[in-house]
């Protein structure tokens, strides 16, 4: 657990992800947004600490435009979000 906290403290921007080698990071943004909410949902269901999920949140917040995040958050609240969480 200490390693995760150390990584989060040292976090500056999204690291290279071999799944998304090109300049366009749209899919990387989307995947990390979904992974964050899936991680939270999974760990909350188990009653576990959700601190490890913060990594995904920091990555998508550094990659995604704020307007996209707001739109997706609104869609999740309305039940119209197109992704599988």
- Quick one: pLDDT at residue 17? 74
In this prediction, residue 18 carries a pLDDT of 78
Alpha-helical regions (H) of the chain: 2-10, 26-46, 54-63, 66-78
More confident residue, 8 or 46: 46
The sign of the CA dihedral 6, 9, 12, 14 is: positive
Q: Is the pLDDT of residue 12 over 90?
A: no
Tell me the average pLDDT of the chain.
87
Yes or no: say if 43 and 50 are a contact pair by the CB < 8 Å rule.
yes
CA angle 41/67/11 to nearest 5° reads 60
Tell me the HSE value of 74 on the side-chain side, using a 13 A CA sphere. 6
- Write the pLDDT tens digit of every residue in 13-54: 677 777 777 778 899 999 999 999 999 999 999 999 999 999
């Amino acid at each position: 657990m200490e390693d995760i906290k150390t990584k989060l403290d040292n976090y500056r921007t999204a690291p290279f992800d071999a799944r998304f080698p090109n300049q366009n990071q749209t899919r990387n943004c989307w995947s990390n947004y979904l992974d964050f909410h899936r991680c939270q949902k999974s760990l909350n269901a188990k009653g576990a600490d959700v601190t490890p999920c913060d990594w995904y949140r920091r990555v998508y917040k550094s990659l995604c435009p704020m307007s996209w995040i707001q739109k997706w958050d609104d869609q999740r609240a309305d039940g119209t979000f197109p992704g599988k969480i």
